[in-house]
């Protein structure tokens, strides 16, 4: 009878071990898949793999970064990389960046008109953010493209009632632009929550319709990371994180280490002190970050259950280990009881 009980326990515990390990693997795959969907968080991987890093800086409205400071920032970064003995081969680049802000502008086309949420950007914005093209091409930096506009599908449907509208004119404010491409709105719960229903468009920061943009609210950069912390130390010299500036390391935010730190600070996640308003892509990343951290917590619980099962097996199959575990548990319970009694004893008796 005793042998049958042991056999049944062994079978049940083996089944539990298999289920917990399988569950951990499934959760790990889900977590990695959720992070891999965010292509704008993987610009460093596309650029230089593990030898590159990606950072984002977000500024509060009214305390942003003037576009006129960008040339001096570029020189400072080039000098810092040169001092670190990092150089690019002929025709190549060591790093790139993008800077942007959002405007609300009235737009009109041959079918309809609408107020668009317009991202005015400089630098290689579409090297970082790569929406799926429905027609045409992304908007690239350069003076020859100042008269072009890139639409999302909401804006294309609203203004034209169609998606294949490359080459069509759009009046933005008092200026006429030509559509260079139309991008698909990413699907998914996080995007539904953060992207919103507003029709969106993209123009260059130097174009006439963006002349009212006195500051940028987002700055993104991809640069070399020969040793851990190199890129961050460079940026900290240029942007001081504080109440009006938030600096995020995109390339490492979905690692197990970063997600574990996120879990440790979860009690503060609902606390909002900074006046910085994040753009939609950063809000999506933060929602995904929270979900991935929750999945990691579930993985840890399942792995702990698997480890406990293995320890029970060892205790049952190897008598010395069983006795050691039993004695250790007994000592732990005795110590816990003594501590509890000490804490609950009336104060006047504690010193005695």
Task: Determine if residue 136 is left, alpha or beta; phi over 0 gives left, psi from -120 to 50 gives alpha, anything else beta.
Answer: left
- What is the average pLDDT across 63-73? 85
- What is the average pLDDT across 61-71? 83
Confidence of residue 151 (pLDDT cuts 50, 70, 90): very high
State CA 323 to chain mean position distance. Answer: 48
Is the pLDDT assigned to residue 191 strictly greater than 90?
no
Per mean pLDDT, which of 15-24, 30-39, 81-90, 321-330 is the most reliable? 30-39
Model pTM score: 0.80
pLDDT > 70 in the chain, percent: 81
Is the pLDDT assigned to residue 105 strictly greater than 80?
yes
Confidence of residue 143 (pLDDT cuts 50, 70, 90): confident
- What is the average pLDDT across 117-139? 94
- What is the average pLDDT across 303-311? 81
Tell me whether strands 133-136 and 175-183 are parallel, antiparallel or unpaired: antiparallel
Instruction: Say which range, 193-202, 268-277, 284-293, 306-315, has the weakest mean pLDDT.
Output: 268-277
Rounded CA-CA distance 138/141 in Å is 10
SS3 assignment for 98-156: EEEEEEEEEEECCCCEEEEEEEEEEECHHHHCCCCEEEECCCCCCHHHCCEEEEEHHHH
- Contact criterion met (CB below 8 Å) for 269 and 291: no
- What is the average pLDDT across 302-308? 85
Going from N- to C-terminal start, the domains of the chain cover: 2-36+294-343, 42-252
Q: What is the pLDDT of residues 310-320, one digit of tens each?
A: 777 666 665 56
- Contact criterion met (CB below 8 Å) for 220 and 55: yes
Confidence of residue 135 (pLDDT cuts 50, 70, 90): very high
């Amino acid at each position: 009878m005793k042998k049958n009980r042991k056999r049944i326990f062994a079978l049940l515990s083996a089944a539990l071990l298999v289920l917990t390990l399988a569950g951990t693997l499934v959760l790990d795959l889900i977590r990695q898949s959720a992070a891999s969907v965010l292509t704008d968080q993987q610009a460093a991987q596309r650029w230089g793999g593990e030898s590159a890093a990606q950072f984002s800086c977000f500024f509060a409205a009214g305390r942003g970064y003037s576009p006129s400071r960008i040339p001096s920032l570029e020189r400072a970064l080039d000098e810092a990389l040169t001092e670190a003995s990092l150089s690019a081969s002929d025709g190549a680049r060591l790093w790139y960046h993008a800077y942007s802000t959002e405007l609300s502008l009235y737009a009109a086309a041959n079918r309809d008109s609408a107020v668009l949420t317009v991202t005015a950007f400089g630098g290689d914005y579409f090297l970082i953010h790569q929406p799926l093209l429905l027609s045409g091409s992304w908007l690239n930096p350069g003076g020859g493209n100042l008269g072009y506009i890139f639409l999302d599908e909401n804006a294309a449907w609203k203004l034209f009632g169609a998606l294949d509208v490359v080459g069509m004119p759009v009046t933005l404010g008092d200026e006429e632009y030509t559509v260079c491409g139309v991008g698909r709105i990413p699907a998914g719960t996080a995007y539904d929550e953060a992207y919103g229903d507003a029709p969106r468009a993209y123009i260059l920061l130097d174009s006439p319709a963006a002349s009212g943009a006195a500051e940028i609210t987002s700055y993104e950069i991809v640069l070399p990371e020969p040793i851990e912390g190199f890129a961050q130390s460079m940026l900290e010299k240029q942007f001081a994180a504080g109440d009006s500036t938030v600096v995020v390391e995109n390339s490492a935010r979905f690692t197990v280490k970063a997600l574990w730190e996120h879990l440790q600070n979860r009690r503060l996640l609902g606390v909002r002190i900074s006046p910085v308003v994040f753009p939609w892509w950063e809000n999506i990343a933060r929602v995904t970050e929270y979900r991935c951290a929750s999945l990691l917590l579930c993985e840890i619980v399942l792995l702990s259950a698997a480890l406990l099962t293995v320890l029970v097996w060892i205790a049952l199959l190897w008598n010395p280990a069983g006795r050691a575990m039993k004695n250790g548990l007994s000592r732990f319970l005795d110590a816990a009881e003594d501590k509890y009694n000490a804490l609950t004893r009336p104060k006047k008796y504690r010193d005695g």
